[in-house]
Amino acid sequence: MTSVNNAYKIDDFINPVLKPAQATTVEIKTVDSDTDQIASRPNADASSILHAKVGQKPATVTGSKGSYLYTSDGNEIFDATCGAAVACIGHNDPRVKNAIVKQLDTVEYCYSPFFATEAAEKLAHTLTESTGGEMSKVFIVSSGTEAIEAALKLARQYFTELPTPQPQRTKFIARKQSYHGNTLGSLSVGHHTGRRAIYEPILGSNVAHVSPCYPYRDMKEGETDDAYVARLAQELENTFQSLGPETVCAFVAETVAGMTLGCVPPTPGYLEAMREVCHRHGALFILDEVMSGMGRTGPLHAWAHEETMVAPDLQTVAKGLGAGYAPIGALLVNKRIVDTLARGTGAFTHSQTYQGHPVACAAANEVQRIIREENLLENARNMGEKLGALLRERLESHENVGNIRGRGLFWGVEFVKSKSTKESFPPSDQVAAKLHKTGFMPEYGISLLPGSGTVDGKKGDVIVLAPAYNITAADVETIVEKLEKVVHANPAGPRSKQHCVSAERYVPIGVAETVALGLTECCARLGRGKVYHFSKWTDEKRRVGGFQKFTESYVRLPDLLYVDCSWNDEEAQAWLRSPHLDRLLALDARGGTLVDGTPTPAVNFFHEIDDYGTIQFFPGFGAAAMYYNTHGATYLGFTEDLAAVAVHRVHDTPHRSRWSASKLDVAQFQMRSGTLAAEKLQDMYLATTGVLSSEATFAVSLCRLLGSLTAGGRSLST
């Protein structure tokens, strides 16, 4: 083997007997992996934003369309959550953008206490009309939290302006495991200990909390719906009595519980029973539909569901109101309360700078028009039924799925350590967070909304799905398929099969012939290795704006970029110039040439490939493997030498993503000696087929190459 300036040639690792006459030279250099990895990682310190996780800059979204988001690192993500249940008509709708521009051409802002705008008047009229006369006025703000703050203040003002004022009503009752926003007032009525803890000393002390409607965990064995509702109503009654009924201003609840409980619809009769207790004691009944309203659970207003039909005194809405095209929320007010203010001071004391913002109202008007004219509420109901049924069909039998619940296009999947006892995972396992993180990986490409502390503010894991109202049946299949793969890729618990090195390791099915190359330092830094099919990579980059820009911004390195397509000279040169490709060895196996145009033998190794696959690496290990069977998959074994190769065949194709691997035809090689591993691999091919095909020749050569490089802890470069 020759060495020139610490560089090696691929020719040196190819058996001279098997070496093709026109083998091409590719330099493999040793590099300072530690330095290069740090340099290629996203620098959160360069951002001036105080991100949710200080020092960790999230992926940058550079484009969006419909239900898809495209990030600067080339990922295509199916937005199965509409952000936080917001983008209900999908992303980048030109009609809403045009409505915004049109409003900007008219009036971009005016102070609502001084002036009215047509956009705000139209939106308020639309909302009141949609309640069938239950609500008569609307107070338009910029978020759901602001709407809750306004509701609490209006409830208090209402009692001070009654013909016989009741100023003693200063207390509120809300529910445990609820969430109503992050301002001090809204956080006080909410009750998620994880979100409240640090602020507890400065939160209001005038709020009591009762049990939520959470039948999965709180219904007793053999208890009927009616009995359960009666028990919860009695608890509310007892709380009124404990506080003093005449001191209670209002009871606040989410119509369908959101993230802190995980999409739990009310048991039939529950809302009606709660309202009855409130009205019997003269208190107001406030429903928070910031997340569950505006069509998310089927009807435009969640309280108008056929199993509910209980109108509140005050109602808050937001997320689906403007679908994320502009920040907007609203408080809907019952006529009785409006009339009381009209007979009293004639004014609502609370106000905000951006209330009734005309641009936000114009966006919301167009969103609501689209929902009406495209009959999206019916679609949400139909697709919601399909989504719920498919989730139960595919996931309900999973040993760690405790409960699947939801309504419309608002569904939660709760994960448990024990299905029989409903025991939650320890908070330290971060199950929901890990599922969310896995979903963002390129091989899954789905946004999942994680909820933690759903049981008691600390324990409890749920994944929430809240896709756009205009999704199709095919989209529903995509969502469940991707979620199913994410769940199976993250078997619960720290000692799951996914973490074991054995021939029973779960592997994806349906991937054809592939060569995979794992790199030591990259795996150590990222924790997982990834394999990308070049045609998918290029498809993604074209959607996010230019090949050169894409390659230069690509910092989450795959361990191998394998090639099954052609590209023009400009793209090839941009690919070669990218500073992030100094660890990638790429061969154009189909066309018979390297990407730089240098002649090479036509291996045609990928000629039957019809999909792309991924290989997950343990941190700190490198590996090489060949997907040998056209309809098979590969198990990778790892040694402390940072190198191993495994080749085997999978004889069956399990149903959907129920993954398994056959123990038959498995050959595993420790690569302390690349030559020995290559000889064993070569012997296996000869024993199996009697000949060495071009594919086998390449695999043997790759084995010899990796054995020499990885045993020394080296990395590869173009």
Structure confidence at residue 80 (pLDDT): 98
Q: 358 is written with which tokens?
A: 């005309």
pLDDT at residue 641, as a whole number: 26
Average pLDDT over every residue of 343-347: 96
Amino acid (one-letter) located at 113 = P
pLDDT confidence tier of residue 328, bands split at 50, 70 and 90: very high
The mean-pLDDT minimum among 163-172, 255-264, 531-540 falls in 531-540
pLDDT over 90 for what percent of the chain?
57
Q: Is 211 exposed, middle or buried (0-12, 13-18, 19+ CB in 10 A)?
A: middle
- Residue 258: which pLDDT band, with cuts at 50, 70 and 90? very high
- Angle of helix 358-373 relative to helix 94-106, nearest 10 degrees, comes to 150
End-to-end CA distance of the chain: 19
DSSP code string of 51-120: -SSTT-PPPPEEEEEBTEEEETTS-EEEETTHHHHT-TT-B--HHHHHHHHHHHHH-S---TTT---HHH
Q: Supply the mean pLDDT for the chain.
A: 73
**Residues forming beta bridges with residue 70, ordered by sequence position:** 63, 76
Q: What is the reported pLDDT for 306?
A: 84
pLDDT given at position 661: 28
pLDDT attached to residue 684 = 53
What percent of the chain has a predicted confidence (pLDDT) above 70? 62
pLDDT digits (tens, 9 = 90+) for 275-294: 999 999 999 999 999 999 99
- Which of 27-41, 264-278, 306-320, 452-466 is the least confident region? 27-41
**pLDDT at residue 525 in the model:** 24
User: What φ, ψ does residue 565 adopt, rounded to 5°?
Assistant: -160, 175
Output the six-digit token pair for 291.
């997340």
pLDDT tier for residue 489 given thresholds of 50, 70 and 90: confident
Position 519 confidence tier, pLDDT thresholds 50, 70, 90: very low
Domains of the chain by start residue, with CATH = 61-87+377-489 (3.90.1150.10), 94-374 (3.40.640.10)
Whether the per-residue pLDDT at 28 is higher than 70: the answer is no
State the Cα–Cα distance between residues 355 and 361, nearest whole angstrom: 10
What pLDDT score does 308 carry?
74
Range from 371-380, 499-508, 568-577, 618-627 that averages highest in pLDDT: 371-380
Residue 264 has pLDDT above 80, yes or no: yes
Q: Which of 136-150, 304-318, 490-504, 700-714 has the lowest mean pLDDT?
A: 490-504
Instruction: Tell me the one-letter amino acid at 338.
Output: V
Name the DSSP class of 556: S
Q: What is the pTM of this model?
A: 0.67
**Secondary structure of 594-624 in HEC code, one letter for each residue:** CCCCCECCCCCCCCCCCCCCCCCCCCCCCCE
Give residue-wise pLDDT tens across range 551-599: 333 323 233 333 333 334 454 444 344 433 332 333 222 222 333 333 3
Q: What is the pLDDT of residues 91-114, one digit of tens each?
A: 999 999 999 999 999 999 999 999
- State residue 644's pLDDT score: 29
pLDDT at 691: 64
> What stretch of H or E contains 679?
helix 674-689
Q: What is the pLDDT of residue 250?
A: 99
Which of these, 218, 319, 318, lies nearest to 270 by C-alpha position? 218
Task: Give whole-number Cα distances, 533 to 149, 393, 587, 613, in Å.
Answer: 50, 31, 12, 7
Lowest-confidence segment of 187-196, 201-210, 217-226 by average pLDDT: 187-196
Question: Is the pLDDT assigned to residue 90 strictly greater than 50?
Answer: yes
Least confident among 62-71, 593-602, 704-713: 593-602
Least confident among 50-64, 246-260, 325-339, 429-443? 50-64
User: What sign does the dihedral 694-558-627-646 (CA atoms) show?
Assistant: positive
The predicted pLDDT at position 302 comes to 97
Give the whole-angstrom CA distance, residue 320 versus residue 363. 11
How far, in Å, are 10, 17, 270, 594, 601 from residue 21 at the CA level? Answer: 14, 10, 80, 16, 8
Would you tell me how many other CB atoms lie within 10 Å of the CB of residue 363? Answer: 27
pLDDT at 718 over 80: no
For residue 194, the model assigns a pLDDT of: 85
Confidence (pLDDT) at 51: 87
Residue 167 has pLDDT above 80, yes or no: yes
**H-helix or E-strand spanning residue 231:** helix 225-243
Question: What pLDDT, on the 0 to 100 scale, is given for residue 597?
Answer: 36
The token pair at 8 is 């090696």
Q: Give the pair of three-digit tokens for residue 22.
A: 């026109």
* pLDDT (0 to 100) of residue 52: 85
Residues forming beta bridges with residue 208, ordered by sequence position: 173
